[in-house]
């Protein structure tokens, strides 16, 4: 009996000792995480800007990081206790390795945020290995400095975990409380982001989020979405959404909901003809998609001040849409939305690749009416599978990094990686290779790359000087000037991009076909590497429609999106130039709204990244996750607490998502008969 009692006593003592050892290492991890969190706030303050209010947001960040630590300690404790019973030193070694990896991931995610100014989510799985390597390489992830920092970080973390652990002597009560509280934390369903991110600045809200918790949470949702596939054609489902459907700002007359959920009658109004003088022949169409061009720093009412003097002047000679929205927060969403007003599928329509359902676009419809189609890009068109999408739309020519002739310059390489050719050389190649006297009308898309991270230019010194002179013109005080200087690479690239556009338009004016050309200039999304003021800011871009054919100009303050370009352009070409278009289509957009005053008659989904699909606009409101904002002119937004509006927006958004999922599963958009008629075989 005494032997049994002694054995139980020893086992219990061993258990307590294991708990105390675990607590010492676990508390060391917590200290590391909190120190790294403080460094993150200070680093971002120095490199970008200090969040306001600083101490309140820092407290929020520390609380969220502590919450993340609590969330997983029970699992680590359980593993430690089990291994400790067999090999105490092995248990300690395993835990230190795990905690080192956790800390390194935290540092890497913080580094990503400091570059992109948005937390990394599961969108990393939306890219191929080659695309990830290209992105990381161009950002300097494989530099000798970065690799040296990694090795130093590993050494420091392991040393701290070993040494600090020896100095901690947690009590038995504290040692038992850590796994117990962690277990309760898990059972309660608390997220580690327990501190509300309700600051006025979107940058501050993103900074307060614990980057690891956000990343792990997004991964979990990616692999375990937990969504029940609902039959959107079920009578009960349609009844559930009937009220929201009636209240949507725009509506379509659908012709076959069962088989083709997005197919509807082509009822887009022609709003562009009143602005144009009718030419004798079909006009050339040139769409210029500018990397990162946001309204935050373009035109006279830009809240950051304008860094696009040429585009500002061009907009006064154009139809200028000041409250225009991109369909996505990354480039992957732009081509399908602008050219074909398409739904997103699971990770963006481009990601469907060869499996994408047959569809129509500006490219196919205009090609069937005699247009010659081309795509020019300074980078690699294989990125995001753009080349696959373009080929499926029967494009005649793809000109990208692989086909540039000699004599043209690439952007500076960083660690052997360059995004491609400069904007000026892209425009130069276009002008040199596109015939001005072609018998066929031309439809061209140009996608720029210079204003993309890492924002390196061949004429860096020149545009730094242009930047310095420009911020002097803005009349900034010393504090603001210092803040802007932190982003001189970004702003300099914008000034360069604007200058390249100036040269392009001026050179184009010398061509014989200039008088019969319509230019559409917009951004693929707003550059995220300069802090954003709101959730909608990511999508706020300009749209400029410029042409010698214009008889009158206008500043349009009503809201439209990328989805509205193709429907309006085709409606205009049908009426004025007899371009044949189908009587039914699958456009998400109903067409550009040319009302001069601010309003939004559209409903549209917006996708931030390939896996972050949380935004929807409808009327005066913007739904972001489970938060509602009311929109006003210049796309300012104010948070709204109204459960009825939240319910209505969720109903509309869920209706779209269900149809979107159905499309991706069935891979059906339009009937074969319509597709064959308007999608000619490539010559």
pLDDT one-digit tens code per residue, 371-384: 999 999 999 999 99
Domains of the chain: which residue ranges? 13-223, 238-677
Q: Compare 500 and 114 and report the one with higher pLDDT.
A: 500
Tokens of 79: 């593993």
Q: Regarding beta strands 264-265 and 584-585, do their DSSP bridges make them parallel or antiparallel, or are they unpaired?
A: antiparallel
Give me the architecture of the 238-677 domain, per CATH: 3-Layer(aba) Sandwich (3.40)
pLDDT one-digit tens code per residue, 344-378: 998 899 999 999 999 999 999 999 999 999 999 99
pLDDT at 144: 57
Average of per-residue pLDDT values in the chain: 87
Q: Compare 268 and 680 and report the one with higher pLDDT.
A: 268
**Nearest-CA neighbor of 524 among 255, 306, 336?**
336
Return d(Cα 326, Cα 328) in angstroms, integer.
6
Q: How confident is the model at residue 298 (pLDDT cuts 50, 70, 90)?
A: very high
Distances (CA, A) of 480 to 173, 471, 477, 581, 641: 51, 10, 5, 52, 33
Average pLDDT over residues 316-320: 98
Least confident of 115-119, 185-189, 283-287, 567-571: 185-189
pLDDT at 556: 97
Q: How confident is the model at residue 629 (pLDDT cuts 50, 70, 90)?
A: very high
Point out which residues pair with 417 in neighbouring strands: 414
**Helix runs in 280-400, H state only:** 309-315, 334-340, 362-368, 386-392
> pTM here?
0.84
Task: Reply yes or no: is the peptide bond before residue 53 cis, omega within 30 of 0.
Answer: yes
**Nearest-CA neighbor of 563 among 267, 273, 361?**
361
Q: How confident is the model at residue 119 (pLDDT cuts 50, 70, 90)?
A: confident
Distance from CA of residue 463 to its chain's centroid? Answer: 27
Under a CB-based contact definition with an 8 Å cutoff, are residues 557 and 340 in contact?
Answer: no
Average pLDDT over residues 393-419: 91
pLDDT at 167: 66
Average pLDDT over residues 632-636: 96
pLDDT at 186: 79
Which residue's entry shows tokens 């009578």?
235
pLDDT of 189 > 70? The answer is no
Under a CB-based contact definition with an 8 Å cutoff, are residues 491 and 418 in contact?
Answer: no
pLDDT one-digit tens code per residue, 84-113: 988 988 998 898 888 888 888 888 888 888
Q: For the stretch 285-302, what's the b/e string if a residue is b when 16 or more beta carbons lie within 10 angstroms of its beta carbon?
A: bbbbbbbbbbbbbbbeeb
Average pLDDT over residues 393-417: 91
pLDDT at 248: 46
């Amino acid at each position: 009996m005494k032997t049994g009692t002694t054995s139980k006593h020893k086992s219990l003592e061993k258990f307590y000792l294991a708990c105390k050892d675990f607590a010492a290492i676990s508390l060391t991890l917590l200290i590391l995480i909190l120190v790294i969190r403080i460094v993150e706030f200070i680093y971002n303050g120095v490199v970008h800007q200090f969040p306001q209010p600083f101490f309140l947001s820092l407290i929020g960040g520390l609380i969220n990081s502590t919450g993340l630590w609590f969330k997983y300690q029970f699992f680590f404790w359980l593993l430690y206790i089990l291994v400790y019973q067999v090999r105490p030193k092995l248990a300690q070694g395993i835990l230190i390795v795990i905690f080192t990896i956790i800390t390194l991931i935290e540092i890497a995610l913080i580094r990503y945020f400091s570059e992109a100014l948005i937390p990394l989510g599961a969108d990393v799985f939306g890219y191929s290995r080659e695309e990830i390597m290209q992105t990381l390489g161009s950002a300097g992830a494989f530099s000798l400095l970065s690799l040296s920092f990694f090795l130093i970080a590993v050494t420091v973390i392991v040393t701290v975990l070993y040494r600090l652990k020896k100095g901690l002597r947690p009590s038995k009560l504290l040692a038992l409380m850590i796994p117990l509280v962690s277990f309760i934390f898990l059972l309660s369903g608390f997220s580690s982001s327990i501190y509300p991110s309700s600051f006025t600045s979107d940058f501050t809200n993103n900074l307060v989020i614990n980057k690891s918790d956000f990343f792990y949470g997004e991964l979990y949702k990616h692999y375990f979405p937990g969504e029940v596939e609902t039959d959107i054609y079920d009578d009960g489902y349609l009844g559930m959404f009937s009220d929201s459907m009636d209240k949507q700002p725009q509506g379509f007359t659908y012709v076959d909901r069962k088989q083709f959920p997005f197919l509807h009658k082509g009822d887009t109004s022609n709003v562009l003809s009143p602005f144009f003088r009718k030419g004798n022949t079909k006009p050339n169409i040139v769409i210029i998609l500018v990397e990162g061009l946001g309204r935050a720093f373009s035109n006279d009412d830009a809240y950051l001040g304008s860094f696009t003097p040429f585009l500002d002047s061009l907009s006064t000679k154009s139809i200028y849409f000041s409250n225009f929205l991109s369909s996505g927060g990354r480039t992957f969403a732009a081509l399908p939305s602008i050219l074909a007003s398409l739904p997103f599928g699971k990770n963006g329509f481009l990601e469907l690749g060869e499996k994408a359902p047959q569809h129509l676009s500006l490219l196919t419809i205009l090609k069937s009416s005699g247009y010659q189609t081309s795509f020019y890009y300074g980078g690699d068109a294989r990125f995001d599978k753009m080349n696959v999408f373009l080929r499926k739309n029967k494009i005649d020519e793809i000109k990208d990094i692989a086909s540039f002739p000699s004599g043209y310059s690439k952007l500076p390489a960083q660690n052997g990686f360059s995004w491609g050719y400069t904007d000026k050389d892209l425009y130069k190649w276009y002008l040199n290779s596109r015939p001005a006297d072609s018998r066929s009308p031309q439809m061209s898309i140009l996608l720029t790359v210079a204003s993309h991270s890492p924002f390196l230019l061949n004429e860096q010194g020149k545009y730094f000087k242009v930047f310095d002179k420009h911020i002097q013109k803005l009349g900034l005080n010393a504090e603001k000037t210092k803040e802007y200087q932190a982003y001189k690479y970004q702003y300099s690239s914008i000034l360069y991009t604007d200058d390249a556009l100036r040269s392009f338009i001026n050179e184009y004016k010398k061509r014989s076909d200039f008088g019969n050309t319509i230019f559409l200039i917009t951004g693929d999304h707003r550059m995220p590497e300069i802090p954003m003021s709101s959730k909608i800011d990511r999508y706020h871009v300009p749209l400029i429609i410029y042409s010698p054919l214009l008889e009158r100009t206008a500043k349009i303050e009503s809201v439209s999106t990328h989805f509205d370009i193709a429907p309006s352009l085709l409606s205009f070409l049908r009426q004025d130039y007899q371009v044949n278009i189908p009587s039914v289509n699958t456009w998400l957009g109903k067409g550009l709204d040319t009302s001069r005053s601010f309003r939004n008659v559209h409903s549209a989904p917006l996708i931030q990244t390939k896996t972050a699909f949380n935004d929807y606009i409808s009327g005066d409101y913007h739904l972001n996750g489970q938060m509602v904002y009311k929109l006003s002119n210049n796309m300012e937004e104010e948070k709204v607490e109204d459960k009825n509006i939240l319910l209505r927006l969720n109903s509309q958004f869920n209706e779209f998502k269900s149809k979107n999922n159905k499309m991706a599963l069935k891979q059906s958009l339009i009937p074969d008969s319509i597709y064959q008629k308007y999608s000619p075989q490539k010559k």
